[in-house]
Amino acid sequence: MTRGLNKVMIIGHLGRDPELRYTPSGRPVVSFSVATTRTWTNSNGERQEETEWFNVVAWGGLAEVCKQHLRKGQQVYIEGRLQTRGWEDADGRKHYRTELVAQEMIMLGGPPQGTTDPSRGGDGISDEEFPF
């Protein structure tokens, strides 16, 4: 029997602060979104840009680390696997959601720019102080 591979690596910016919840058994789970943007030049020489959003889920100790250290706008590296889960709503309609189940997270680029609240990891410097 052949083995399969389900591995995803992304670098992007958080679209919202992580939301931490606990399962009925007490296991922590965090969810947040990450935007990755790619740019290219089309055949007419025009610059093009496309943003892809990923729904990220982390469990256990990694969930708690993400909640404690990540903030909206921060750049992050996430490694994990894709998983699609389905459910049926009260009206009987089926819904599906594909998520990146994180197995590793690395914070990149320091705290989000313009963060002034020291409790949120900011350095008190706004992006207006630097004209570049």
Q: For 82-93, how does the pLDDT look when each residue is reduced to its tens digit (9 = 90+)? A: 999 999 999 999
pLDDT band at 111 (very low <50, low <70, confident <90, very high): low
> CA quadruple 24, 26, 29, 30: dihedral positive or negative?
positive
Residue 63 pLDDT exceeds 50? yes
Q: Where are the alpha helices (DSSP H) in the chain?
A: 60-69
- Return the CATH number of 8-38+48-122, one of 2.40.50.140, 3.30.9.10, 2.60.40.10, 3.40.50.300: 2.40.50.140
For the chain, give every domain's residue range. Answer: 8-38+48-122
Of the two residues 126 and 105, the one the predictor is more confident about is 105
Q: What pTM was computed for the model? A: 0.77
Q: Which residues pair with 76 in a beta bridge?
A: 12, 107
Spatial separation of the C-alpha atoms in residues 98 and 100, rounded to whole Å:
7
